[in-house]
């Protein structure tokens, strides 16, 4: 049995005058494959491709903005690995130099797509349930990019599956703080493996345990949130609160909300069920809209 794991890492790949980051490619491919996995399930839930594609466009933009904003908030002040954005404000816009938050990307994607869901009279819960397995797949593919560039290297470990830092410091996207040759936690590898299990679980639940709208996305939030809480204890990252990173704070809130929903609510919330509402006063009917039983019951009766 090997004492540690090791593989060549490539923070950037030179193609002529271009310098391409495998990390960025992994994120883009992960988003595309996740979207492709979402489409058939969205169609099954009565959401057409013509409605999904505008949501995905806004989600892609929101993911980039949210991922950067969350990272900047968590690294405003100086730390042992950077000077802090307060001291160098212009570096906030240098996203090509790295620095994004996966959880912030999720939040940004949902936030920017939300108004479009409401505009198109789509159920927030149906859309998110259809997207949940795709979100897990996107994490898996994105983590492949992290493994190629050598990102998210954590604290030193003696475990046999630890990652052995290369001898050249610039060979990895993430600094190996213990030094070249040290064996550290490769938290991107942990997230990659655990997300494969998460994806399998979501697909199984979707196929064998049909539940109320909102169930699948709540399972995703609770499960992936727990992953991040545990993994971040092994990372070398700046703490937003004593002992907790910004991602852990976000993940804890997400886990609590999702577990509360799964344990106590156990039905589709009233909010976000825009597919059950007709056009507002003065608004033309949405193409393809058909009122549900609940909307018909609320209509005034006309005596003949």
Summarize pLDDT for 236-280 with one digit per residue, the tens.
887 778 889 889 999 999 999 999 999 999 999 999 999 987 655
Range from 12-16, 59-63, 281-285 carrying the lowest mean pLDDT:
281-285
Return all residues near 51 (Cβ < 8 A) that are at least 6 apart: 42, 120, 122
- The reply to whether 93 falls in a domain is yes
- pLDDT band of residue 291 (cuts 50, 70, 90) is very low
CB 152 within 8 A of CB 235: yes
- The reply to whether 297 falls in a domain is no
CB 192 within 8 A of CB 148: no
What phi and psi, each to the nearest 5 degrees, are found at residue 223? -70, -55
72-102 pLDDT tens trace? 887 666 554 455 666 666 666 666 666 788 9
- The reply to whether 300 falls in a domain is no
Q: Nearest-CA neighbor of 122 among 69, 52, 191?
A: 52
Quick one: three-class SS letters along 101-151?
A: CHHHHHHHHHHHHHHHHHHCCCEHHHHHHHHHHHHHHHHHHHHHHHHHHCC
The torsion defined by the Cα of 68, 74, 77 and 80, in degrees rounded to 10, comes to: -100
What is the predicted pLDDT for the residue at 94? 65
Number of domains, the chain:
1
- The reply to whether 4 falls in a domain is no
Range from 49-58, 120-129, 177-186, 273-282 carrying the lowest mean pLDDT:
273-282
- The reply to whether 80 falls in a domain is yes
- The reply to whether 111 falls in a domain is yes
Q: How far apart are CA 55 and CA 213, in angstroms?
A: 18
> Residue 258 belongs to what H/E stretch?
helix 246-260
CB 196 within 8 A of CB 39: no
One DSSP character per residue, 42-81 reads HHHTT--HHHHHHHHHHHHHHHHHHHHHHHHHHTSS--SS
Q: How far apart are CA 188 and CA 204, in angstroms?
A: 24
What is the predicted pLDDT for the residue at 96? 60
> Residue 13 belongs to what H/E stretch?
strand 13-15
**How many angstroms separate the Cα of 196 from the Cα of each of 34, 43, 139, 256?**
13, 24, 9, 23
- pLDDT band of residue 301 (cuts 50, 70, 90) is very low
Please give the average per-residue pLDDT across 118-146, as a whole number: 97
- The reply to whether 116 falls in a domain is yes
Please give the average per-residue pLDDT across 161-178, as a whole number: 87
Return all residues near 16 (Cβ < 8 A) that are at least 6 apart: none
What is the predicted pLDDT for the residue at 88? 65
What is the predicted pLDDT for the residue at 303? 35
Q: How far apart are CA 135 and CA 113, in angstroms?
A: 14
- Any idea which residue has 């404000």 for tokens? 89
Q: How far apart are CA 239 and CA 212, in angstroms?
A: 37
- The reply to whether 140 falls in a domain is yes
Q: How far apart are CA 257 and CA 251, in angstroms?
A: 10
- Structural domain of 257: 13-279
Range from 34-43, 75-84, 197-206, 279-288 carrying the lowest mean pLDDT:
279-288
209-229 pLDDT tens trace? 778 999 999 999 999 999 999
Range from 94-103, 115-124, 231-240 carrying the lowest mean pLDDT:
94-103
Q: How far apart are CA 101 and CA 8, in angstroms?
A: 24
Say what the pTM is.
0.85
Parallel, antiparallel or unpaired: strands 153-156 and 183-186: antiparallel
Q: Which span out of 6-20, 117-131, 208-222 was modeled with the highest average pLDDT?
A: 117-131
Q: How far apart are CA 243 and CA 266, in angstroms?
A: 33
pLDDT of residue 40 exceeding 70: yes
What phi and psi, each to the nearest 5 degrees, are found at residue 39? -55, -50
């Amino acid at each position: 049995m090997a004492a540690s794991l090791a593989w060549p890492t490539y923070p950037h790949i030179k193609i002529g005058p271009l310098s391409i980051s495998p990390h960025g490619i992994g994120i883009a491919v992960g988003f595309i494959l996740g979207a492709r996995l979402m489409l058939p399930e969205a169609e099954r839930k009565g959401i057409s491709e013509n409605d999904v594609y505008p949501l995905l466009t806004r989600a892609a933009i929101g993911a980039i903005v949210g991922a950067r904003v969350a990272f900047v908030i968590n690294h405003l002040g100086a730390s042992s690995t950077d000077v802090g954005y307060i001291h160098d404000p212009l570096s906030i816009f240098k996203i090509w130099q790295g620095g994004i938050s996966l959880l912030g990307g999720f939040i940004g994607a949902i936030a920017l797509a939300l108004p479009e869901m409401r505009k198109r009279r789509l159920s927030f819960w149906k859309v998110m349930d259809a997207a949940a397995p795709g979100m897990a797949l996107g994490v898996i593919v994105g983590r492949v990019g992290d493994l190629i560039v050598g990102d998210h290297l954590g604290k030193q470990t003696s475990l046999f599956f630890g990652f052995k830092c290369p001898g050249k410091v610039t060979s990895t996207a993430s600094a190996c703080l213990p030094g070249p040759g040290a064996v550290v936690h490769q938290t991107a590898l942990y997230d990659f493996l655990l997300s494969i299990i998460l994806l399998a679980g979501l697909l199984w639940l979707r196929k064998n345990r049909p539940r109320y709208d909102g169930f699948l996305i709540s399972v995703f939030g609770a499960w992936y949130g727990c992953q991040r809480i545990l993994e971040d204890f092994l990372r070398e990252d700046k703490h937003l609160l004593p002992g907790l990173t910004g991602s852990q704070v976000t993940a804890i809130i997400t886990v609590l909300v999702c577990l509360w929903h799964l344990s106590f609510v156990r039905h589709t919330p009233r909010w976000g069920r825009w597919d059950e509402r007709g056009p507002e006063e003065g608004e033309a009917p949405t193409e393809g809209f058909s009122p549900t039983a609940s909307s018909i019951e609320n209509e005034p009766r006309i005596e003949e």
